[in-house]
Chain A
Amino acid sequence: MIPMDDTDRALVAALAEDATQSAGALGRRLGLSQPAAWRRIARLRAAGVFRGLRLDLDREALGFGVTVFLGIKLATKGRVGLDDFERAVGAIPEVQTVEHVLGMYDYRLRVVARDISDFERVLRRRIMTLPGVGNVDANVLLTEERRPGPI
């Protein structure tokens, strides 16, 4: 784990909000010279503080009116079952995230669709046909809020 001071934390928070800001602009906000800000950002990036960048898009404006979270229980377990399932589910374009979880379900998927009937198509043709899929539970996303976290 990388040691961070308050300035580092402020840089991480600022880049989480807007990753396109230049070292110069961030430095001016935090009272650092451009090279000093650049060095700190390079050190944080090298330590793997960011998993990557994500475009924040208005899904609805792009025609994706429905987001559904699916909880999936596999019917068949065992090493082979998991590998086959993971490979197949990762290849579905409408599946945005796949998380392996411990609890009532084995996997949690985030699925986008144009509307409810498009979602039904994805569910029937793509999800229910996955190898080993058992019980599926669906919850339609109404609102979503990402918080800055303990930074």
Chain B
Amino acid sequence: MLDDSDRRILRHMQAEPEMPAADLAERAGVTSSTLARRLDRMRSAGVLRGVRGVINWPALGYEVEVSLRITLDKTQGRAFDDFIEGARAVPEVIEIQTFLGQVDVRLSVIARDMPHYQQVYRDRVLTLPHITDIEALMHVARLKTDETLPL
């Protein structure tokens, strides 16, 4: 189980993932060896799954991001499985989420520009199985993106 020191370590690490281990240990009020041991333990317990680089897609030429909120035909037993399997095969889909609520599935789709988006949408998204309704939200700006947990 996690204790207050573990949470403190994660809280500081979350705020500044690139902080050198020595600084992190000092801020969290533990020794370097304790820090290493606790991080190892949290990694092997699966609490800390990893440190990911967050790709800045516009810098790679993908200027458009659209959030597609999709309703599926739930009378089809395999609607979710078939749809998700199909969505995984579309490289421009960067996130697949399922929900309890009005929306069944949400896809984050990126594209180089609007004509490219139009092409991905028509040829790859609308052809996915069991869709009954789609709504699109176009991203204008990200105002908060750190996804930190209030630990």
Contacts and interface: CB of A to CB of B under 8 A. Distances in A.
Interface of A: 1-2, 4, 12, 15-20, 47-59, 61-62, 64, 69, 71, 86, 89-90, 93-105, 108, 110, 112, 137-147, 149-151
B76 interface: no
Contact of B47 (A58, A98, A105): A58
A119 to B, nearest CB: 12
Contact of B52 (A16, A101, A138): A16
Interface of B: 2, 7, 10, 13-14, 17-18, 45-57, 59-62, 67, 84, 88, 91-103, 106, 110, 135-151
B97 A149 contact: no
A131 to B, nearest CB: 15
A138 B101 contact: yes
Contacts of B59: 1-2, 47-49
Contacts of B151: 62
B48 A55 contact: yes
A54 B150 contact: no
Contact of B149 (A62, A86, A100, A147): A62
Nearest to A45: B53
Contacts of A89: 143-144
A84 B139 CA distance: 20
A14 B84 CA distance: 24
Contact of A96 (B7, B106, B138, B146): B146
Contact of A102 (B7, B18, B57, B140): B140
B13 A142 contact: no
- Which 3 residue pairs across A and B have the least CB separation, nearest first? A139-B101, A53-B17, A93-B150
A139 B59 CA distance: 31
Contacts of B150: 93-94, 112
Contacts of A147: 88, 91, 93-96
Given A98-B142, A142-B99, A150-B110, A51 B67 contact: no
B47 A108 contact: no
B139 A101 contact: yes
B60 A51 contact: no
A50 B53 contact: yes
B14 A51 contact: no
B144 A18 contact: no
B56 A49 contact: yes
5 contacts: A56-B52, A62-B10, A62-B149, A100-B142, A151-B60
